Structure 1
Amino acid sequence: MSLSDKISNKADELGGKAKEAAGAATGDDELRAEGKADQAESAIKGAVEDVKDAVGDAADKVKKAFGK
């Protein structure tokens, strides 16, 4: 995962937490749910990037093992 992707995901997560907190403070259930959804989306993006990184690392190891 690139640094810019990590920063973007963290910003989305923090924005989601802020929305959730604002919704909780004002009693706005829709805003709270939107914040939770933003956090979940950020977590999914992070998980996908982690899988991409793992696959890339595995491919590099295979290439190295075969001398390519």
Structure 2
Amino acid sequence: MKSSTKDRAEGTFHELKGKAKEIAGRVTDNPTLEAEGTGEKIAGKVQGKIGQVKKVLGK
């Protein structure tokens, strides 16, 4: 699998996982879990963008 495709796939996975943690944190009234989910979601978006850049650059 190409590096760019792998980064985009992992980014999407982390976005979904972060969103789930964020919702779980809200439901259980756990601000720590909600913040952790938000951070992971943002990290997933960044990783997805890195994959897009790699694809454009041909890496």
Q: Would you say same fold, with TM above 0.5?
A: yes
Cα shift at 1:14: 1.0
Q: Once superposed, what is the RMSD of the aligned Cα atoms? A: 1.7
**Which moved further from structure 2: 48-57 or 22-31?**
48-57
Determine the structure 2 residue equivalent to 1:62.
none
Matching of residues 11-26 of structure 1 within 5 Å? 11-26=13-28
Letter in 2 for 1:52: K
Determine the structure 2 residue equivalent to 1:44.
46
Separation in 1 of the partners of 2:15 and 2:26?
16
Number of residue pairs matched? 56
With CA pairs under 8 Å and 6+ residues apart, which has the higher RCO, 1 or 2? 2
Letter in 2 for 1:49: G
Residue 53 of structure 1 pairs with residue 55 of structure 2: yes
Q: In structure 1, list runs of 5 or more residues that go unmatched.
A: 58-68
Determine the structure 2 residue equivalent to 1:64.
none
Determine the structure 2 residue equivalent to 1:60.
none
Identical columns (%): 34
Letter in 1 for 2:20: A
Runs of 4+ in 1 over 6 A off after TM superposition: none
